A and B are shown apart, each in its own frame.
Chain A
Amino acid sequence: MGTERDTGVTRRGFLGLTAGTAAGVALGMRSFKAHAAVPHTEETWEGGTVIPSTCNMCVNRCGIRCRVVNGVLEKIDGDIRNPRSRGGTCAKGQAGIMSVYDPDRVKHPMIRVGKRGEGKWRRASWDEAFEYVADNLARIIKQHGPESLLWSSTTDLTEQFFVRLGIHLPTPNFARHATLCLASRNVGYFATMGGVPDSDLANAKYILMFGANRTESFQLPDNWTMIEGIKNGAKLTVVDPRMTYTAAKGEWIPIRPRTDMALTLALMHVLIKEELYDKEFVATNTHGFDELKAHVANLTPEWAAQETEIPAEKIVAMAREMAAAAPAVVVYPGRRTSWYTNDSQFRRTLPMLMALLGAFDAPGSHSFGSPKARLGSFEWEIEPFDVAERFDHFETRYPLANHEDGGYVSLRDAIVDGTTAYPVKGWMIYKQNPLAAVLDGKKSLKMAQQMDFICAIDVQPSETAWMADIILPETTYLERLDPLWAPSGPRAYVGIRQPVVPPQGEAKPILDIIKGVAKALDAKHEFETPLSQVFNFSMEEFIDAQLKGLPIDRQTLMQEGIWLGPEEKKSYGAYRSGKKQFNTPSGKIEFVSERFRRNKFPALPEYETPQEVPGQQRLVSGRHAWFTHQRGHANNLWLHELYPENEVWIHPELARQKGISEGEEVLVRSSVGEIKIKAKVTPRIRKDTVFICHGFGGNSAGQTTAQGKGGADFMLMESAGDEISDNQATHETFVEVVKV
């Protein structure tokens, strides 16, 4: 930390430069518990104006109604008309107010003046900031080519503008959200059945979830209907080394970690051996049944019991119960599937199990083709197609992964280990915090230190932004107009995200930031298509193009907040009858993946007994109801009030052995790092496993609420990725818990 005499500003100075408004400070002073205690009806919050919009505190993008009084956002409620949220707003959604009024927020362009990460900054005008970014990008492009730029961003409605700028430079080196989250699920399901199906949780009679903690992570209507279903007799089985809130809603199966595939293979063994599988569905809709039958012939429940520590009779009972409930069975695909190095193969076994049960294209099971509004397309300028190969050899190392997403672990390791095909000199980061999200945090820091130039576009001075050379402040989702949102779901609709309050400070929407960078870059470098030409449109024009063909105009949509399509009754049977084909090489659900075989991966998922480290526990991580995403949640004053600090969960027997008491600070260490964190002694975790909630232990001095609170899981996790998708494998690390 520098001193006040330095040419730059200190953290205190940084905060002074970015301090919130009086209204924001006042809101920040208010307790969230007191705020949330007021009944959630619009009548209780009189006055002001109610503006409909779309939440951005997690990926569900619920419909919200925002009450603004005297220019200050006072209250966020759910929009009852929205099919995906039906009036619900979780704690995260309500605490979105503090994303606007967070006193730590970056509100002006900030240029680094001290050493990287030292926290010395000076305020810059936007003109200077655009010149600064363009100078550096143009210099790197001139010296090393555009491919020496790494382009990182997180999935959201606005990401396309940032990505499009990278496409037109052109750089091939994108690093997107999927390989920190769900890439392995996508690869496994696409290979097996051509896509990730929807799950009819409301009408299922048996629901099997592996690790998924959706009743805690996402407060969504299909969870509410699932709970109703459970009340009416549906069975929920949750397989997880930890007893989550979701597991508490059903039966908890405390599986030995990394043996999930042994369970799914043994379940298939029972279904086939006892002829409980859906023979008609298998004959019509699947490929490779005979090979599967031979493959699982010896994978008995007794064998799986040794691996999973789930009794053989329990495995048999589970298979029989599922068969009895079929086809109204959901084998839940999962969302964050960044667990193990064999994750794509494990995920393949879930649709395979589903196919044996015939749990597809029937009520209470899985399906494709939920209602979805068809948005019009914006006509972009032609993108360059003579683009260099990626620096990390991603396409050849991971031939079946999504090459446009890239893989964080492999690219980070290639840069740090010096195995890139060419130098990587610049890093543009939009709305992503890889220094607090990618495992082996120290190694990620080394990657950042090797860059000539880093620019972060963010609302918060995150760990990654704090290491940047310049931070460009973006508006929050409550201050800007975004592209439209038209997801598939129970009913087709189009939602709009629009400004509810004016931007704080000088924050700009991403499209304006991209335009500014594009214009400055055009003056310094000749691109195939001038960048200013690529972005020569307004957000309103972009939205109008999306609305083409829909019976609503932009003004009406902004007023209403949502356009609802006609109610459609879902029809079933097209796949079961063979009329529709799956989008796989065989046109069927592939027990045997020809695509995997061709690329020399096992065509049928092969199980390997996990190796363990004596005297150590396997570290698993997950999300909390108020902290599903590190970005934006960790430093939120109200969410912090609800859950200020995470803990390491350890089993009482292990705690007894080590003499550790509840709430005591312990040291947790792995081969790559160590953290101090409080112990939560609970029988809700296996003795061979410890759990740490993700999103804590931040080390950005700019985030005064989050800094140093709790422990950072990513600092302990060793570098590992799924062998097929390169999804980071966050549950492959063993740690030692030490009494301090």
Chain B
Amino acid sequence: MLKKRSLIAGLALIITSFITMDIAVAAGKANWKRGRVYYRMVCTVCHIQETGAAISPNSRTIAEWKAYMAADKHDASGKSKPKVSDYTSKAYRESIKGSNKAAKKFLKMPDAALFADVKAFVVHGAKDSDTPASCN
């Protein structure tokens, strides 16, 4: 009985967490500061390794970032994963957790919430924002 109660409570907690997360994402309450950590420690590190250069949030406008994140297409070259969201997914974090502190730290975060955080950061730091951000 106790086990069943615990299970129900656990499921309720999980469901509540997802609902809360969805509401937060829907309400635009993404955490750009968390997104900054992930962007700089995962995205930027990879961009520099693979292309030799970082892609700063201030290299695009707010509209461009919103369109880019809405389209969810990482790049057209075909050399990388097709979607931006692939790089915020749990599967990706799992695959690099051994060598990346941010991936390990955010391992259990829901995909949508982390994607929203990253989006919030690049929009917050876009070149026509009030606070343009570099990769440093």
Q: Which residues of A contact B (CB under 8 A)?
A: 190, 194, 377, 379, 381-383, 385-387, 399-400, 403, 583-587, 594-595, 598-599
Contacts and interface: CB of A to CB of B under 8 A. Distances in A.
Given A379-B101, A385-B33, A594 B131 contact: no
A584 B31 contact: no
17 contacts: A381-B101, A382-B41, A382-B102, A385-B37, A386-B31, A387-B33, A400-B130, A403-B131, A583-B132, A584-B128, A585-B127, A585-B128, A587-B127, A594-B128, A595-B128, A598-B130, A599-B130
A585 B58 CA distance: 9
A190 B127 CA distance: 10
B127 A382 contact: no
A382 B37 contact: yes
Contact of A399 (B58, B128, B130): B130
Interface in B38-93: 41, 45, 58-59, 61
Contacts of B41: 379, 382
Contacts of A403: 131
7 shortest interchain CB distances as A-B pairs = A585-B128, A385-B33, A385-B34, A382-B105, A399-B130, A583-B127, A382-B101
A585 B130 contact: no
Nearest to B106: A382
Contacts of A400: 130
A586 B128 CA distance: 8
A660 B132 CA distance: 53
A583 B58 contact: yes
B58 to A, nearest CB: 6
B36 interface: yes
A453 B63 CA distance: 47
Nearest to B56: A583
B36 A385 contact: yes
Contacts of B37: 382-383, 385
Interface string B106-132: 000000000000000000000110111
B18 to A, nearest CB: 20
- Interface of B: prevailing SS: helix
A586 B61 CA distance: 9
A599 B59 CA distance: 21
Contacts, number: 40
A377 B47 CA distance: 13
A399 B37 CA distance: 22
Nearest to B136: A377
Interface residues of B, number: 18
Interface of A is mostly: loop
A194 B134 CA distance: 12
B61 A585 contact: yes
A403 B33 CA distance: 13
Contacts of A598: 130
Contacts of B45: 377
B130 to A, nearest CB: 5
Contacts of A382: 37, 41, 101-102, 105
A584 B127 contact: yes
Contacts of A583: 58-59, 127, 132
Given A400-B130, A585-B61, A594-B128, 17 more contacts: A379-B41, A382-B37, A382-B41, A382-B102, A382-B105, A383-B37, A385-B33, A385-B36, A385-B37, A387-B33, A399-B130, A403-B131, A583-B59, A584-B127, A585-B127, A585-B128, A598-B130
Nearest to B58: A583
Contacts of B59: 583
A585 B36 CA distance: 21
B132 A190 contact: yes
A195 B72 CA distance: 30
Nearest to B62: A585
Contacts of A595: 128, 130
Contacts of B33: 385-387
A82 to B, nearest CB: 24
Contacts of A599: 130
Contacts of B102: 382
A595 to B, nearest CB: 6
Contact of A385 (B31, B128, B130): B31
A699 to B, nearest CB: 38
Nearest to A194: B127
Residue in A194, A382, A587 whose Cβ sees the most chain B Cβ within 10 Å: A382
Contacts of B105: 382
Interface centre among A190, A383, A387, A594 (most CB of B within 10 A): A383
Nearest to A599: B130
B30 to A, nearest CB: 12
Nearest to A190: B132
A537 to B, nearest CB: 14
A377 B49 CA distance: 12
Nearest to A379: B101
A387 B32 CA distance: 12
B109 to A, nearest CB: 12
Contacts of A381: 101
B126 to A, nearest CB: 9
A383 B38 CA distance: 10
Contacts of A587: 127
Contacts of A190: 132
Contacts of A584: 127-128
A265 to B, nearest CB: 25
Contacts of A594: 128
B99 to A, nearest CB: 10
A383 B130 CA distance: 23
Nearest to A376: B48
A599 B131 CA distance: 12
Contacts of A399: 130
A627 to B, nearest CB: 32
Nearest to A385: B33
A264 to B, nearest CB: 25
